[in-house]
C-alpha cells in the first residue's frame, strides 16, 4: 500500500482488500467520503490527487477493523439519520432506515400543536431529536437506561441545537407525567433464539442492552403497555418499531391493554411488519 499514491490507486487497492476478505467493497469509498465529509462528486474530482500518508495509515487501520466485522459507523463516530448527522458510539445502536420510517409516520400523522412526547430507549437520540426538529412546539422527553448512551444523546441535542429533556431509567418509570400525548419507541426486541442468525457485526459490536429482550423479544413491549395504561392521555397515541415476526403478537397485546383504541400494524418499505400504532 505504501507505493500507492492517488485516491484512485488507494481506493482500488482498498476495495479489493475488502472483497478478498469477504466484505462489501463500497465500505472503502464510504470511509474516504466520511473522513472528508465529501460527496461522491468531491471524490471524483480528487481521484487523481495524492492521498496524504496520514490518511493512508488511517484507512489501513480502519479496514483492518472492518474485516473483523467492526461497524464502519463506529469508526467514523457518526451517521446520517432523517437528514441530520448524529454522533454514535459503541454505547448506542447504529440507527436503521426502518426507524426513519417510524419517525416519518409519526410526523405525518401529528401536527405541531403543543404536546408531550416521550421517546423510550432513545439511544443516540435520533427519534427524539428528529421529532423535535420538525415539531418545535412539542415537549420531547427521552429516556434511556444507559448513561453512556444518554451522554451521546445529550451531545447530539447540543449539536442539533434542540431542547430535549433527558431521563435516566427504564421505560416510563422516570416520567411522572400522567398525560403523555405520544409515546414512541424502538425498544430492544431481539429474542435469544434469534442470536444465531444475527449479523456478526451486530452480535459482536452493538450494545446488547439495546438489542435483546426476554419473552421472545416481547418483554419490553409489555412493560411499556402496562405503564402506558396509566400515563397515556385519553386521546394519546403510541408508535412502536417491532421485529418483523412480532406483528400479530404485539397487535394482540396492545389491543388487550387498550381495548378502546385502534391498533394498526404497518409494513416497512421492504414489505415486512415493522410498526405498531395505537390511537
Ligand atoms: N432509539 C434508538 C434508535 O432507534 C435506539 C434504539 C435501541 O437502542 N433499541 O436507534
pLDDT tens digits for 212-252? 999 999 999 999 999 999 999 999 999 999 999 999 999 99
Amino acid 239: pLDDT:
98
List of the chain residues with pLDDT < 70: none
Largest interatomic CA distance in the chain: 70
Q: Please state the three-class secondary structure of 43-87 as a single string.
A: HHHHCCCECCHHHHHHHHHHHHHHCCCCCHHHHHCEEEECCEEEE
Q: Is the CB of 93 under 6 A from ligand 1?
A: yes
In the CATH scheme, what architecture does the domain 90-278 have? 3-Layer(aba) Sandwich (3.40)
State pTM to two decimals.
0.94
Whether 185 is in the pocket of ligand 1, judged by its Cβ within 6 Å, is no
Residue 202: the pLDDT is 94
Is 186 a pocket residue for ligand 1 (Cβ < 6 Å)? yes
- Show me where the domains of the chain are located: 7-68, 90-278
In contact, 87 and 154? CB cutoff 8 Å: no
Q: Is there an atom of ligand 1 within 6 Å of 187 CB?
A: yes
Encode burial over 28-51: b for 16+ CB neighbours within 10 A, e otherwise: bbebbbbeeeeeeeebeebeeeeb
Place of cell 461522491: 40
pLDDT of residue 1: 79
User: Measured from the CB, is residue 143 less than 6 Å from ligand 1?
Assistant: no
- Residue-wise over 220-251: b if at least 16 C-beta within 10 A, else e? bbbbbbebbeebbeeebbbbbbbbeebbebbb
For the Cβ of 236 lying below 6 angstroms from any atom of ligand 1, the answer is no
Say what the pLDDT of residue 2 is.
77
By alpha-carbon position, which residue is closest to atom 3 of ligand 1? Answer: 95
Distance CA 217, CA 265 (A): 17
User: How many angstroms does the Cα of residue 129 sit away from the middle of ligand 1?
Assistant: 12
* 214 in Cβ contact with 245 (< 8 Å): no
For position 4, what pLDDT does the model report? 85
Amino acid at each position: 500500500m505504501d507505493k500507492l499514491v492517488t485516491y484512485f490507486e488507494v481506493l482500488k487497492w482498498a476495495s479489493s482488500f475488502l472483497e478478498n476478505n469477504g466484505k462489501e467493497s463500497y465500505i472503502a469509498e464510504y470511509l474516504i467520503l466520511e473522513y472528508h465529509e465529501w460527496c461522491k462528486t468531491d471524490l471524483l474530482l480528487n481521484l487523481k490527487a495524492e492521498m496524504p500518508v496520514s490518511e493512508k495509515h488511517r484507512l489501513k487501520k480502519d479496514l483492518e477493523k472492518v474485516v473483523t466485522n467492526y461497524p464502519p459507523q463506529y469508526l467514523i463516530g457518526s451517521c446520517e439519520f432523517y437528514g441530520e448527522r448524529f454522533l454514535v458510539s459503541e454505547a448506542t445502536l447504529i440507527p436503521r432506515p426502518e426507524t426513519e420510517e417510524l419517525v416519518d409516520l409519526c410526523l405525518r400523522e401529528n401536527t405541531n400543536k403543543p404536546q408531550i412526547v416521550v421517546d423510550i430507549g432513545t439511544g443516540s437520540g435520533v427519534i427524539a431529536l428528529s421529532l423535535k426538529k420538525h415539531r418545535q412546539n412539542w415537549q420531547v422527553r427521552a429516556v434511556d437506561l444507559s448513561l453512556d448512551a444518554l451522554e451521546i444523546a445529550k451531545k447530539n441535542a447540543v449539536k442539533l441545537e434542540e431542547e430535549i429533556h433527558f431521563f435516566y431509567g427504564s421505560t416510563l418509570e422516570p416520567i411522572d407525567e400522567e398525560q403523555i400525548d405520544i409515546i414512541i419507541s424502538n425498544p430492544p426486541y431481539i429474542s435469544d433464539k434469534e442470536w444465531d442468525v444475527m449479523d456478526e457485526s451486530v452480535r459482536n459490536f452493538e450494545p446488547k442492552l439495546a438489542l435483546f429482550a426476554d419473552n421472545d423479544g416481547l418483554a419490553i413491549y409489555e412493560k411499556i403497555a402496562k405503564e402506558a395504561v396509566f400515563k397515556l392521555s385519553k386521546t394519546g397515541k403510541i408508535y412502536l418499531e417491532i421485529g418483523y415476526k412480532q406483528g400479530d403478537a404485539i397487535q394482540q397485546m396492545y389491543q388487550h391493554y387498550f381495548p378502546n383504541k385502534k391498533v394498526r400494524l404497518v409494513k416497512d418499505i421492504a414489505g415486512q411488519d415493522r410498526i405498531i400504532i395505537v390511537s
